[in-house]
Homo-oligomer: A and B are copies of this chain.
Amino acid sequence: MYILVTNDDGIEAPALLPLKQALDQIAETIVFAPDHNWSASGHPKTMHKPLRADPVTLPDGSQALSSSGAPPDCVALALLGIIERRPDLIVSGINLGSNLGYDVFYSGTVAAAVEGVINGIPAIAFSLDSFEAVDYTGPASFAARLAQHVADHGLPADMFLNVNFPAVPWEEVKGVTITRLGRRVYRDELVSRVDPRGRPYYWIGGKPPGGVPDGGTDIWAVANGYVSITPVHLDMTAYHFREDLRRWNIQLR
């Protein structure tokens, strides 16, 4: 098995190397990650400017690649030929901060996984519900075990796994649950300021997002000390609503 490892916190993020080292136990790996943090960057495809893809040496002496592009750019560049062969699996993470519910639309960690799936390669996104660096040994070895499951069972086309770890020490994690995406509640606030020339400018500020902890959701699981695994598919068509729309009898002219 050949695994492409990436993230959205950047090549120097503390969770990247433990993840790579755990995956090294089950596969050959190549790290190709952004050269800086891309949190909440969504899913860009960088076409309006050129990208770098430079060799870097990780703290354990292993060779990796780093790009000026976003997480999905790293995956795209890799698959377009920057790395020598096609990976069997893409693993993205471990992100500092959870990616639950609607977060999947903003998350660069998830975007890297989505880019893999669009290109026909199974993918797993891993995030941790904490912004503080912790001991990643437990989550990383779990990630490797789940990657092995995916290698053994396969994933249907058009699908990836979105995994979130709770913000508790690994020995206190209660178990693994298979979940659905929950309802994120954002608590953004507008911060208005005035620049030295008298012109207004704005920050999107506020508190970290909350969520509705309904049973069965990723939000409930992570808030209650469980690892959540949500299978996510890329076909967002609202199939059932097509019949309603047909009844609207929308005229062209």
The residues of A with any CB-CB pair to B shorter than 8 Å are 39-48, 50-54, 70, 72-73, 76-77, 80-82, 102, 104-106, 111, 114, 118-119, 138, 142, 145-146, 149, 153, 156, 159, 161, 173, 175-176, 178-181, 184, 186, 188-190, 193, 199-205, 227, 229-239, 241-242, 244-246, 248, 250-253
Asked whether, in the complex, the Cβ of A250 is within 8 Å of the Cβ of B145, the reply is yes
Chain B min CB distance to A183 (Å): 9
Asked whether, in the complex, the Cβ of B80 is within 8 Å of the Cβ of A102, the reply is no
Asked whether, in the complex, the Cβ of B242 is within 8 Å of the Cβ of A238, the reply is no
Chain B residue at minimum C-beta to C-beta distance from A115 = B105
Complex CA distance for A131 and B175, rounded to whole angstroms? 51
Asked whether, in the complex, the Cβ of A41 is within 8 Å of the Cβ of B40, the reply is no
Asked whether, in the complex, the Cβ of B106 is within 8 Å of the Cβ of A45, the reply is yes
Q: Among the listed B42, B119, B205, which residue makes an inter-chain contact with A111, where contact means beta carbons less than 8 Å apart?
A: B42
**8 closest pairs, A vs B, by CB?**
A42-B42, A42-B43, A80-B190, A231-B238, A233-B238, A180-B237, A231-B241, A42-B44
Identical chains bound together, number:
2
Complex CA distance for A246 and B51, rounded to whole angstroms? 41
Asked whether, in the complex, the Cβ of A204 is within 8 Å of the Cβ of B77, the reply is yes
- Residue among A50, A190, A238, A246 with max Cβ neighbours from chain B (10 Å): A238
Q: Among the listed B181, B204, B229, B245, which residue makes an inter-chain contact with A229, where contact means beta carbons less than 8 Å apart?
A: B245
Chain B min CB distance to A191 (Å): 9
- Chain B residue numbers with a CB within 8 Å of A77 are 190, 202, 204
Complex CA distance for A44 and B155, rounded to whole angstroms? 28
Chain B residue at minimum C-beta to C-beta distance from A155 = B241
Asked whether, in the complex, the Cβ of A102 is within 8 Å of the Cβ of B82, the reply is no
